[in-house]
Structure 1
Amino acid sequence: LWELQGEREPIFEEKDEHGHKVQVFKGWKQNKPGTMTPLEYDQAVGDLVGYMQWMAEPAQNTRVRIGVWVLIFLSFFTFIAWRLNAAFWKDIK
């Protein structure tokens, strides 16, 4: 991917923290341009990451869809159990 992005060099700034000098990352300096513009490169990497995430777990959409229905089912029957408990205990109070 470095050919698409180009060669970059990190820029650091030195700070004093707790009596020690620490280098803090500030950004990148573009040394040589790549074959893509920064916007094209960011879009291509975003597409690649999205594809790799889907390939890691292709059933995620189905799992999430079923999970929503399971939560709706559990909340509905929790309400029914709560009302049934109130009906059973109304004579005891």
Structure 2
Amino acid sequence: MDIIALIKAERDKVARQLNGLNAALAAFAGTYKTGSSRPRRKMSAAARARISAAQKARRPLASGPADKDVVGHNSQALYKNRIATRRFNCALTPNQSSA
């Protein structure tokens, strides 16, 4: 046998194996689905807008009063300013535990 006949025979063998694998995939495709069987819940644009507006209204309350001279929320100057303010306020209030 010459080399060309061997290569053609190997190609035919691989093609049969590939057809068998494709048939197996087609048989199992409906059985094994990825994800959940329940359809995904859709949210209306109005509901998303209400949630977004509520979240935007909460943001200033969570971050505290904004300092005009500080650019970032996590800057060192803002942190030091808040700590100093807390210490100053604690020093002004009378000690509740000694009463």
Q: Is TM (by shorter chain) over 0.5?
A: no
* Structure label with greater radius of gyration: 2
Q: Which structure has greater helix proportion? A: 2
Return the TM-score normalized by structure 1: 0.32
Q: Which structure has greater strand proportion? A: 1
Return the TM-score normalized by structure 2: 0.31
* Higher RCO (Cα < 8 Å, 6 or more apart): 1
